[in-house]
Structure 1
Amino acid sequence: MAAFTANSISVTSLMGSKQATNNVAGLRSVSLSAQRISFPALRLQQVPLRFRVSCAAAKPETIAKVCDIVKKQLALPEDSSVSAESKFSSLGADSLDTVEIVMGLEEAFGISVEEDSAQSIETVQDAADLIENLISKDA
């Protein structure tokens, strides 16, 4: 089951070569359909704000440094492909490897990562974003 909260919604559809945009405010229910597939109506309710999504991305140099540290900690070949989207588990890291990666990041960046934050790191991007966040708090 999925739920979301919104005060308004903007829907863009492409019909042939035309693009149509509809903006709706004060929603109570939404019905969606697409190419012969019908979705049941969605009911929207007011709920308290539970979390906030931030789309701030880490600097490219931070991501590159995290990639280097991950390669070193996992003893990956220099030519192996590690990018921001790389998941530690898909690179062969187990929970102990992940702890060692976090320790290496703490040492390299001069930060301290709390256990709760460390457990939420799954990708290189997650680690780089956390590092930038911690550095900006210290500044």
Structure 2
Amino acid sequence: MATLYAAISFSAKVGRCKAPAVTWKGSGVSGRNLISMGATRTGLIFLRPSRFRVCVAKAETVSKVMDIVKQQLALGEDAALTPESRFTEFGADSLDTVEIVMALEEEFKITVEEDNAQSITTIQEAADLIDKLVDEKPAA
């Protein structure tokens, strides 16, 4: 994953009605990263990926994902899953992850692109992606 280092510079005349000129230099932003900003003495703002993630999935979606993961990995009802649980913690390999994604696609009637499927490693990531795809799906 590429790290984003970009700079935005502003220029404006104080006391005049000149709009600020904004210039952007940098690379693309990964959809999984948030951006943190910090100003310097030179007036430049540097953008860096944040270490924090926003969890947007509904509790119902997270619960359904947990149930499907338990079923696909043949875990007992007493298995202690949390949204932060990684599939690998419960012995899942890449084939198991593919089967989990296929079961999620069937349950939620969505299609997960291969790039997105490979990035799913936790229950929360799966639930966030599902809610995003369900919200984007056109109404039938």
Q: TM-score, normalised by structure 2?
A: 0.64
| CA drift at 1:26 | 3.6
**What's the RMSD between the two structures over aligned residues?**
3.2
Pair 1:27 & 2:20 matched: no
Report the 3-state secondary structure (helix = DSSP H, G, I; strand = E; otherwise coil) of the residue aligned with 1:71. Answer: helix
| Alignment length (residue pairs) | 106
Segments of structure 1 that go 5 or more residues without pairing to the other structure are 8-24, 30-44
Amino acid in the other structure paired with 2:121: E
Taking the aligned partners of 1:4 and 1:55, their CA distance within structure 2 comes to: 21
Q: Give the structure 2 partner of residue 106 of structure 1.
A: 105
Taking the aligned partners of 1:102 and 1:77, their CA distance within structure 2 comes to: 20
Report the 3-state secondary structure (helix = DSSP H, G, I; strand = E; otherwise coil) of the residue aligned with 2:101. Answer: helix
Q: Give the structure 2 partner of residue 119 of structure 1.
A: 118
Taking the aligned partners of 1:100 and 1:86, their CA distance within structure 2 comes to: 17
| CA drift at 1:71 | 0.1
Taking the aligned partners of 2:39 and 2:77, their CA distance within structure 1 comes to: 54
How big is each residue's C-alpha offset from its partner over 1:34-59, in whole Å with a ceiling of 9 and x where there is no partner? xxxxxxxxxxx766x79798624200
Q: Give the structure 2 partner of residue 82 of structure 1.
A: 81
Counterpart mapping for 1:40-119 below 5 A: 55-119=54-118
Identity of aligned residues (%): 53
Segments of structure 2 that go 5 or more residues without pairing to the other structure are 9-37
- The ranges of structure 1 where at least 4 consecutive aligned residues each deviate by more than 4 angstroms after the TM superposition are 2-7, 49-54
How big is each residue's C-alpha offset from its partner over 1:76-119, in whole Å with a ceiling of 9 and x where there is no partner? 01111111010001111000000000000000000000100000
Q: TM-score, normalised by structure 1?
A: 0.65
Taking the aligned partners of 2:113 and 2:4, their CA distance within structure 1 comes to: 30
